[in-house]
């Protein structure tokens, strides 16, 4: 019975959380000025895209994830991707704290 009401739109369902990447691999390659990257660079960029998208989504909780991705959020993701791509292995602690913060356990 409940499923019937939900299907009919009488009882609204919560929107699914947005988990899609905020930028495409092609957009990231263009922004980072990468031409004809090797497959391993595509794999690295894909990881950076997913991580940057998650970081930006967590930080910008004011965006509900519907519709087109706002340009500012795309730019933030692209900046994170480029910074991490260019400085692989030399990332300041503040960046790591922002990335890992949601997974940190606080012991009391």
Does residue 3 contact residue 34 with C-beta atoms inside 8 Å?
A: no
Range of the domain at 51: 20-103
Answer yes or no: is 4 within a domain: no
Q: Is residue 84 part of a domain?
A: yes
Is residue 6 a part of any domain in this protein? no
- Mean pLDDT in the chain? 80
> Residue 9's pLDDT is what?
64
Domain count, the chain: 1
Between CA 85 and CA 16 the distance in angstroms is 30
Output 13-20 pairs: Cβ under 8 A, ≥24 positions apart.
15/64, 15/65, 15/66, 17/65, 18/57, 18/64, 18/65, 18/66, 20/53
**Rounded mean pLDDT, 57-69:** 85
> Is position 10 within any domain?
no
Please report whether residue 26 resides in a domain. Answer: yes
The answer, yes or no, to whether residue 74 has pLDDT greater than 90, is yes
pLDDT, average across residues 85-99: 72
Mean pLDDT of 26-32: 95
Residue 45 belongs to a domain: yes
Residue 7 resides in a domain: no
Show the CA angle centred on residue 24, arms to residues 22 and 71, nearest 5°.
Answer: 45
């Amino acid at each position: 019975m409940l499923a019937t009401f939900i299907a009919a739109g009488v009882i609204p369902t919560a929107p699914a959380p947005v988990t899609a990447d905020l930028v495409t691999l092609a957009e990231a390659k263009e922004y980072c000025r990468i031409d004809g990257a090797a497959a391993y660079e595509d794999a690295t960029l894909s990881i950076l895209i997913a991580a940057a998208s998650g970081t930006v989504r967590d930080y910008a909780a004011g965006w509900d994830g519907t519709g087109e991705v706002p340009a500012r959020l795309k730019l933030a993701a692209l900046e994170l991707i480029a910074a991490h791509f260019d400085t692989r292995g030399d990332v300041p602690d503040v960046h790591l704290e922002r990335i890992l913060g949601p997974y940190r356990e606080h012991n009391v």
